[in-house]
Amino acid sequence: MVRLTYENRLKELGYSLPEPPKPVASYVPSVRVGKLLFVSGVLPLVNDRPLYTGKLGREVTLEQGYEAAKVAALNALSIIKSSLGSLEKVRRVVRLVGYVASAEGFNEQPKVVNGASDLLIQVFGEKGKHSRVAVGVMELPRGAPVEIEMIVQTK
């Protein structure tokens, strides 16, 4: 029995990969060293604009934050595909850090970051199960409510 490719599984789930972000001056979208791919911090941008702006616990609802984390994860997958040539080269998702822009008293960072985690499990199955850190920060670039960083083990 043949399994779907990870990218086809994404499509079946109703998602398509966005264009990977353009390389910028001072840093690159990812760096590979040995079997580890370090992905730069990724925002929930859609057509180069944040899907939402503001903080959880104030302007942004839990549902919107979850959605934003998912979109950031899609952008990260786009970088990973662009860097490795194919998502099939992913052997394991090792680490996900979710930074959540949080208003005073908001403590549901894990539920927000689940938007990224759930997508990774849906796409990669067992190989998508990752170690994770979720924290509430003061502000994020471009007023985004969520930023994620990832480390992936490659084949």
Q: Which residues bind a second copy (CB under 8 A)?
A: 25-31, 33-36, 38-41, 57, 92-97, 99, 101-102, 104-110, 114, 117-118, 120-121, 129-143, 147, 149, 151, 153
How far, in Å, CA of 99 to CA of 116, rounded?
11
Q: What would the two tokens of residue 86 be?
A: 């194919």
64 or 145: CB nearest a second copy: 145
How far, in Å, CA of 153 to CA of 76, rounded?
14
18 or 54: CB nearest a second copy: 54
Query: Cβ of residue 86: shortest distance to a second copy, in angstroms?
Result: 20
How far, in Å, CA of 83 to CA of 31, rounded?
8
Q: Specify the DSSP class assigned to residue 25.
A: S
14 or 105: CB nearest a second copy: 105
